[in-house]
Structure 1
Amino acid sequence: SNNNNAPLQSWNEKEQPILYEFPPVARRLDFLHHLEKLPSFQTGIEVGVQKGILAKKSLDIWQSCTEYVLVDLWGKEEGYSEPGADSTADKDRNLQEAKNRMKKWEESKKVKFMVMRSTDAAKLLPDGHFDYVYLDARHDYCAVKEDIESYYPKLRPGGILGGHDYIDAQYAIDRLGEVEDWSKCEDGSIHPEAVKGAVDKFRQQQGGLSVYVSNEDFPSWYIQKPY
């Protein structure tokens, strides 16, 4: 007999899990524990890698991942330096550290490095292919907008696009100090809404996508491409 009191099928048993049904997370790494439970999530991209600390922690958790692309310029952007940006020597050291952290996965061909601007890397990656993309590169409105517009097409339907720091420029300055001013774009224009503004604008343009946010001081945001 059909028991009307039976619990709804749990989110991780659905072939097409819905992001807003994911249990809430207190940290962005906990989100990877969710992906690990979902057979339909196996391929990812991380944009903005630095020393590979997050990438290593992510792959330690997300063991069902079969392909993980790491995108970072690891060198000074021409004519542009994010406040607090490392020198070129530091960037080279960061790349070496990331390579060391990723060694076993790069050797097994699970991890691929793309040392170039995020927008250039996006042009070389297939559309409609990836299950998950995480953005943590530049934090000004224009750069985040550009990265979202470059990487959202890379997702298959039902894929998830996320990123760090779902906050505005003032929030960052209040907590990190003036050295981290995310209100200024590369072209000199000022957009105090920063990351959060770029994400919200894109959600609106896509017809009102809901956002899932981690519950931490520098929250991560996640949106799902409709099935």
Structure 2
Amino acid sequence: MDTGWNDASVASINCREQLPLLLNQLGLCGVAVEVGVEWGRFSDHILRYWQGRMLYSVDPWDSQPLHRYSDLCNVPPQEQEVRFRCAGALLASHGPRSRILRAYSVQASQGFPNASIDCVYLDGNHAYQSVMADLANWYPKMRPGGLMCGHDYVDGVGDAVYGVKSAVDLFFSRLGRSVHVTREPVAKSWLVRV
């Protein structure tokens, strides 16, 4: 573990594409998880630039009722299958460092021991209750000094029912943790040292 780890290192990240480099810099090179994979592009990016041992890419690739998951990623079953196959083909090039888990986030979290994950990146269901459930279930899985982060640090986007910012802010304020935000003009990511 990098003894120079500090909040300034986390605060210096400008965009999510820098996440793998930050993980390398901080010595967080064991196990990482991306929740909400869709086509597999961000998992592929992480694996290209991160020196870690294993990335688990978690997504149910499942159509859900709109009242449960109001998002452009919630597409019909046949499109979910196309995305699943594309993600699998893309990530296969990374060999044993990449493992796909076709499961809902909370269900997948139960398969990891507590204090076993260096980084989790949450980009699944963005509704407030879903984000709170993700945070509550993945937080215990984090190693001390790890990095918990996610995408779309906003509330309410168009017709989508996003509650990411509210959930993240409340969850980590209760723990006395600082939330750092990337500098993209839209679709910012959030990062928290745990």
When normalised by structure 2's length, the TM-score is 0.91
Matched residue SS, 1:182: strand
Give runs of aligned pairs for residues 145-184 of structure 1, distance below 5 A.
145-169=132-156, 172-173=157-158, 178=159, 181-183=160-162
Question: Contact 2:69–2:125 (CA<8 Å) still a contact in 1?
Answer: no
Asked whether 1:121 is paired with 2:108, we answer yes
Unaligned runs of 5+ in 2: none
Question: Contact 2:69–2:127 (CA<8 Å) still a contact in 1?
Answer: no
User: 1:205 matched to which residue of 2?
Assistant: 174
The offset of 1:67, in angstroms, is 0.7
Distance in 2 between residues matched to 1:40 and 1:57, nearest whole Å = 16
Asked whether 1:143 is paired with 2:130, we answer yes
Structure ranking higher in strand proportion: 2
The offset of 1:224, in angstroms, is 1.2
The offset of 1:211, in angstroms, is 1.0
When normalised by structure 1's length, the TM-score is 0.78
The alignment covers a number of residue pairs equal to 191
User: Which one-letter code corresponds to 2:122 in the other structure?
Assistant: L
Question: Contact 2:33–2:57 (CA<8 Å) still a contact in 1?
Answer: yes
Match of 2:6 among 18, 28, 31: 18
Match of 1:133 among 120, 124, 134: 120
Q: What does the per-residue CA deviation read over 1:178-213, in whole Å, with 9 as the maximum and x for residues that have no partner?
A: 3xx215xxxxxxxxxx1000001101221x210111
Match of 1:222 among 181, 186, 191: 191
Q: What does the per-residue CA deviation read over 1:97-127, in whole Å, with 9 as the maximum and x for residues that have no partner?
A: 100110122xx32111111111111111111
Asked whether 1:98 is paired with 2:87, we answer yes
User: Which one-letter code corresponds to 2:147 in the other structure?
Assistant: I
User: 1:112 matched to which residue of 2?
Assistant: 99
Two-structure CA RMSD over aligned residues (Å): 1.8
Structure having the higher Rg: 1
User: 2:57 matched to which residue of 1?
Assistant: 70
Unaligned runs of 5+ in 1: 1-12, 184-193
Question: Contact 1:20–1:212 (CA<8 Å) still a contact in 2?
Answer: no
